Structure 1
Amino acid sequence: MRKALPIVLLSTLPFPSWAQTPDQAPTIVVTGAGLDLPPGTPAYGSVVIGRERLMDSASGRIENILGDVAGFQQFRRSDSRSANPSSQGVTLRALGGNASSRTLMLLDGVPLADPFFGYIPFGALAPERLSVVRVTRGGGSGAFGSGAVAGTIELASATREQLPDVAVSALYGSRDATEMSATVTPDLGDGYVSLSGRWDRGDGFYTTPRDQRVEASAPAAYDGWSTDIRAVAPLSADSELQFRATLFEDKRTLRFKGADSMSQGQDASIRYVARGAWQVDALAYIQARNFSNIVISSSTFRRTLDQRNTPSTGLGGKVELRPPVGADHVLRIGADTRQASGDMYEDAYNAGIASNPLTSLRHAGGEQWTAGLFAEDDWTLGRLILTAGARADHWTIRNGFYRQVSATTGVASGEDFADRSGWETTGRVGALFQASEAMALRAAAYSGFRLPTLNELYRPFVVFPITTQANAALDPEKLKGVEAGIDLRPARWVTLSATAFYNRLDDAVANVTIDAETRQRRNVDRIVAKGIELTAAAELGDMRLSASYAYSHSRVHAPGEAFDGFTPAQTPRHAASATLAWAPRQGPSLSTTLRYVAKQYEDDLESDVLPDALTLDAVARLPVGHGVTVVARGENLFDETVVTRNAGGSIDLGTPRTLWIGLSFRG
């Protein structure tokens, strides 16, 4: 078997699927990747994070690595060790959010968002399993599927060439934390199988500031594991079958003793890729997820809510064809579909009485379904590449309901919500002009849409003392945007990029304040975000530098509302990141990452501020021979106070200084 080039090269270089001479049989090349990226991809200004960076993070968490792309943000500043899982939606370009993802995140073409909540299960995504991450800020839906209103994040699995036969690592960190992972990748015939596992646990830090702690306060302990098996087998000289199955479980404790959450999942996908004259990329997947969460009163420290069971299922698939239409065109046509269903079972308690009695039992749920057709063509005209695509999606929201039964009287109440459906047409166009070897100009315009999640439609929730109501009448969000940029290479070892953008999100779903203790999810007229994104990279000898900065001026337009003209909640105006690494081919290595995020507001009324924060991370590696390396990592070395939540002065904090030491082995 001839091993594949890294996928980061596959995205830019022509790669014949096989070559044959009269004396030879076809050479089988197993890549484990999808089809090559079309030539018009750079028109949308993607940012690529390579495997070297993925393997060299102080936290070992993919969500923190994504922070290298300025403008990337989760609903809260916490990572997956100390955040409530349901708050870990992702977005880009300061379009705000309410914990559901406005960015479409894919792993080998499969959507990752939870079918019910819309959050990303970051605890199941181990960086060592990945080859490359491509972040497209903006860009609309294109051939990706619905949901990409704020951009797309594409994760690709590591190739066989990047995976050693055996890789093991074990680290011990502050507050009795451990991180252990192992991967075994044997060749099987002309294909391979990769089996990996990871376990993370720690006693955690106090998210509550010292002057706000009470007897019931507890550190943010976490305990999570994931296993992943991926198999790639050739079917012919130019086609292969890829299979993946992932199991994960993630347990966390937040703020108070007994405030425990649990998320788990069982995901599987199968993918067929053909690289012949007619290129094909077909995949199907299933997701089985669950979530539970106990809410503790911040005044009586008794249980107020037991979200004991939230099972959900996601089913979907995609078929993309690339017919042979000539050397100057790459035509993509296809269809995709996604179905999501889920239920919420929760029990409410009276926290004001010492006996903490059960007061009511609640059950809510529903289904969503989207199916789309797409076509996109990239046309190369010398130094000019034009790209254009269109989608038509039919969506359905059905079988929505909410039930509540009194635990004392047995009286039932509730509502069945009307089924809804509709069509959305979206598209994108772009142009890339290679003015010289050192300069490229690009421009793009696009549109996209996102259905509200089942969580937004049907599930109210409490972050004590604030109750946020669901809203079964929410309309889909719709985005229109334009951008223009320039890419420069002033020297062989330096690349610079600048992008100016204007995005408008109509019918944006927001948590709207009704009174001091009540919010409701509502569509607001629009959010308008405009700004500038800068990136830079340099490599000189053993030194590497990468940097990113985003300035975003974002405003909510909601005539008649108190927050009209305000900045969307959880949206910073400035964000920056820079990583400097010294990484010789042999011997020790060192990298440091400096990140800055400006102040942002907790709520829609700009009443509670999250101050700005500057953090420094570092990673050092010392090879000691026979494939063994000593690893030292440091997170937030300045021990900066990072405020992640501020509800009327009730504060939560992010990761303090955290130190790690351990060993890794590759053989």
Structure 2
Amino acid sequence: MDDFRFPGAMRGPLTITATALALAFLSPGLALADEAADAGEILVTGHGLEETPGTPAYSTLEIARKEILSAPSGRIEDVLTSVAGFQQFRRSDSRSSNPSAQGVTLRALGGNASSRALVLLDGVPMADPFFGYIPLPALAPDRLGRIRVTRGGGSGPFGSGALSGTIELESAGPEDLGLVSGSVLANQRGETEASASIAPQLGSGFVVASGRWDRGKAFWTTPSDDRVPASVRARFDSWSAGLRAIAPLADDMELQARGLVFEDHRTLRFDGADSATEGQDASLRLVGRGAWQFDALAYVQARNFSNVVVSSTRFVPVLDQYKTPATGIGGKFELRPPLGDAHVLRLGADWRRTSGTMQEVAISAITGKITARRRAGGHNTDLGLFAEEDWTLGPFVLTGGLRADRTVIAGGYFTESSPDGLVASDERYPDRADWTLSYRAGVLFHASEAIALRASAYSGLRLPTLNELYRPFTVFPVVTRANAALRNEKLEGYEAGVDLAPARGLKLSLTAFENRIENAIANVTIGTNLRQRRNLPEIRSRGIEAAAHFATGPVRLDASLAWNDAEVHGSGISADLDGMRPAQTPRFAASATLAFVPADRWSVALTLRHVGAQFEDDLQTDVLPAATTLDALVEIPLGARASFILRGENLFDEKIITRNSGGSLDLGVPRTLWAGFRWGL
């Protein structure tokens, strides 16, 4: 599977088209759907198996489609920011950051741009196979029907990636989208956002075809005093197209196929500092809801990343990472035997293999000629076996699970040669393999209809990414080295919480937690302007998460906050970090959305967000100040299904510093006003 290629930038003997693959898989199923429709009514959902009774024993929050669509920026990262404890590696959104910095995490556990949270789209892991970042522009909110966020380490399918939690994205179906839907918006800078979908019923099944295109010159990320003739706005141009087809194979069995194709192009700070991400994903899923319930999934991902680094002193290219082809393949099988109403047993296995190759050239800032050629890569494999049981005993639900992971890090290498082919470095790294056992266990007590108490303990695992293991990089003047000897991150944690529903329309939630990552991977300073990825002895985070929901008549309020006391435990080369906060980790974050939705489909929503101060670097020398923003969305009905949309981002025009490297700053989104039309959403 390492030879999968993209059209265009990824040239080779084999190309795949996700939509064509999905249709090829599902065309027999659609024929069966027509036959089944003639026989009688069959219900299809397009989703996986239902959540188990023990799910609420963990810190879980759901975001409904209505809230997903009310994000004023129209971007998935802002939707998720409403969840207490969610953070990206950097504050910047997916219009104005390097894609490789789009790692996401929960619980203030920090990171180094690789995701410590597991992000699933219809059951498929979405992390880039080489870098571990999430392709956020490809996850269009208007294609989603529901989001479920579970904070804390987990077992179950693909549990090895759920170090700090799991973010499950579920696609919308015809019941949400209607037959035809779409939107077109533009802002005061001339940027545009357009999306459309068609979701026809086919027999007892359905098909959803959708697309989205965002483009614009964007805003200045460089402060006005620091701009030079080579400075440019953070331009972006991204599109994605998805295809889902769902067909029943029997009264209690359905076949699901999904394809996703996307491209994302950005320019940051300087003219010529261009990055690009391309992807083609396809998956096939068989779900059985009979007495013996099962969920079988197989998927393939082909990705590519390119990036040009421009000198911040001479403003010419000094590095061209022209190609990083990567492939992720995998699958899972889960079985739920019929054990009676009091028991839900999950048994299963999953497998994921990631592989990729970084290819780049170093360029002289003086002559413009190539000075070195570099390649690096390898492959990682994870085989997981899991079992989990939920046992309902009156008002109590007991839940517990075990997971065993066989992880393999193999084929690692780094080579560097001169332009004429003379080898300067040829490193081959030893293969490694290990077994790791993880667990989670919890108890849920329904004290009354209005009070639920819960407590849980868990462990987790994350492999270092190929990027962390083998790819060095430079953000001038700081050089960061890779480290092929990195060990797996391991998490231990526990929490306790209460969920209250004291009155109709009012829900409150409070969780106290402590999580600890052993062998946490971080960019550690080892010399002047020199860092290396190292395993820290420990990152510990303890804190409180709170959420509130209130709805009465046309008024709705959703609020959340997260406070934490996170610190690094360092020793040896990392001794100077002992007691410091992890880089890029705020102590406090909060979000509140007040919405007014009268019966005539008018709606007004105001979102206030605050993120506390955090540090850019591990030594806490560069501060990113606290920032408070106000966003708004207004929807005015024009007809049966048409609406006029007004959106506003950062209405107070707060100065948001997203990067501070020795006083060299990047800024986040300024005041941005959108207007447009929505149909059928």
Aligned counterpart in structure 2 of residue 401 of structure 1, from 400, 413, 416 = 413
Is 1:170 aligned to residue 184 of structure 2? yes
Query: C-alpha distance in 1, partners of 2:533/2:460?
Result: 21
Match of 2:548 in 1: 536
Match of 1:429 in 2: 441
8 Å contact from structure 2 (residues 158, 384) kept in 1: no
Match of 1:525 in 2: 537
8 Å contact from structure 1 (residues 297, 465) kept in 2: no
8 Å contact from structure 2 (residues 173, 199) kept in 1: no
Aligned counterpart in structure 2 of residue 213 of structure 1, from 221, 227, 232 = 227
Is 1:463 aligned to residue 466 of structure 2? no
1:443-486 deviations in Å (ceiling 9; x for gaps): 00000010000000000111122111100000000000000000
Match of 1:327 in 2: 341
Aligned counterpart in structure 2 of residue 222 of structure 1, from 219, 236, 248 = 236
Is 1:263 aligned to residue 277 of structure 2? yes
Query: C-alpha distance in 2, partners of 1:591/1:526?
Result: 41
Aligned counterpart in structure 2 of residue 77 of structure 1, from 78, 86, 91 = 91
Is 1:546 aligned to residue 558 of structure 2? yes
User: Residue 156 of structure 1: CA displacement?
Assistant: 0.7
Match of 2:162 in 1: 148
Is 1:627 aligned to residue 676 of structure 2? no
Match of 1:509 in 2: 521
Query: C-alpha distance in 1, partners of 2:599/2:46?
Result: 26
Is 1:567 aligned to residue 592 of structure 2? no
8 Å contact from structure 1 (residues 221, 252) kept in 2: yes
Query: C-alpha distance in 2, partners of 1:465/1:145?
Result: 37
Match of 2:302 in 1: 288
User: Residue 259 of structure 1: CA displacement?
Assistant: 0.1
User: Residue 627 of structure 1: CA displacement?
Assistant: 1.8
Amino acid at match of 1:492: R
Amino acid at match of 1:306: D
Match of 2:616 in 1: 602
Match of 2:209 in 1: 195
Are residues 291 and 337 of structure 1, via their aligned partners in 2, closer, same or farther at CA, if it must alter by over 3 Å? same
Are residues 25 and 383 of structure 1, via their aligned partners in 2, closer, same or farther at CA, if it must alter by over 3 Å? farther
1:293-348 deviations in Å (ceiling 9; x for gaps): 00011111111110000000000000000000111000000000000000000000
Amino acid at match of 2:495: E
Query: C-alpha distance in 1, partners of 2:488/2:153?
Result: 18
Query: C-alpha distance in 1, partners of 2:420/2:40?
Result: 74
How many equivalent residue pairs? 642
Match of 2:311 in 1: 297
Query: C-alpha distance in 2, partners of 1:243/1:323?
Result: 25
User: Residue 25 of structure 1: CA displacement?
Assistant: 6.3
Amino acid at match of 2:283: S
Which deviates the most, 490-499 or 515-524?
515-524
Is 1:342 aligned to residue 356 of structure 2? yes
8 Å contact from structure 1 (residues 139, 444) kept in 2: no
User: Residue 412 of structure 1: CA displacement?
Assistant: 3.6
Large movers: runs of 4+ above 3 Å: 24-27
Match of 2:21 in 1: none
- SS of 1:142's equivalent in the other structure is coil
Are residues 346 and 509 of structure 1, via their aligned partners in 2, closer, same or farther at CA, if it must alter by over 3 Å? same
Is 1:483 aligned to residue 495 of structure 2? yes
Query: C-alpha distance in 2, partners of 1:447/1:375?
Result: 14
Match of 1:577 in 2: 591
- SS of 2:344's equivalent in the other structure is strand
Query: C-alpha distance in 2, partners of 1:460/1:559?
Result: 23
- SS of 1:333's equivalent in the other structure is strand
Question: Cα RMSD (Å) of the superposition?
Answer: 1.1
Query: C-alpha distance in 1, partners of 2:155/2:464?
Result: 16
User: Residue 516 of structure 1: CA displacement?
Assistant: 2.8
Is 1:124 aligned to residue 138 of structure 2? yes
Aligned counterpart in structure 2 of residue 96 of structure 1, from 107, 110, 113 = 110
Query: C-alpha distance in 2, partners of 1:141/1:550?
Result: 24
Runs (5+) with no aligned partner, structure 1:
1-23
- SS of 1:198's equivalent in the other structure is strand
- SS of 1:562's equivalent in the other structure is helix
1:535-572 deviations in Å (ceiling 9; x for gaps): 00000001110000000100000124211110000000
- SS of 2:159's equivalent in the other structure is coil
- SS of 1:513's equivalent in the other structure is strand
Match of 2:460 in 1: 448
- SS of 2:469's equivalent in the other structure is helix
8 Å contact from structure 1 (residues 71, 92) kept in 2: yes
User: Residue 534 of structure 1: CA displacement?
Assistant: 0.4
User: Residue 378 of structure 1: CA displacement?
Assistant: 0.3
Amino acid at match of 2:245: A
Aligned counterpart in structure 1 of residue 60 of structure 2, from 2, 25, 46 = 46
Are residues 404 and 304 of structure 1, via their aligned partners in 2, closer, same or farther at CA, if it must alter by over 3 Å? same
Amino acid at match of 1:316: G
Is 1:138 aligned to residue 152 of structure 2? yes
Is 1:248 aligned to residue 266 of structure 2? no
Match of 1:358 in 2: 370
- SS of 2:160's equivalent in the other structure is coil
Amino acid at match of 1:190: S
Amino acid at match of 1:417: Y
Is 1:660 aligned to residue 674 of structure 2? yes
- SS of 2:426's equivalent in the other structure is strand
8 Å contact from structure 1 (residues 173, 660) kept in 2: yes
Query: C-alpha distance in 2, partners of 1:26/1:379?
Result: 35
Query: C-alpha distance in 1, partners of 2:528/2:595?
Result: 48
User: Residue 587 of structure 1: CA displacement?
Assistant: 3.7
Match of 1:274 in 2: 288
8 Å contact from structure 1 (residues 26, 237) kept in 2: no
Is 1:416 aligned to residue 428 of structure 2? yes
Amino acid at match of 2:219: F
Amino acid at match of 2:579: G
User: Residue 532 of structure 1: CA displacement?
Assistant: 0.3
- SS of 1:113's equivalent in the other structure is coil
Is 1:55 aligned to residue 53 of structure 2? no
User: Residue 349 of structure 1: CA displacement?
Assistant: 1.1
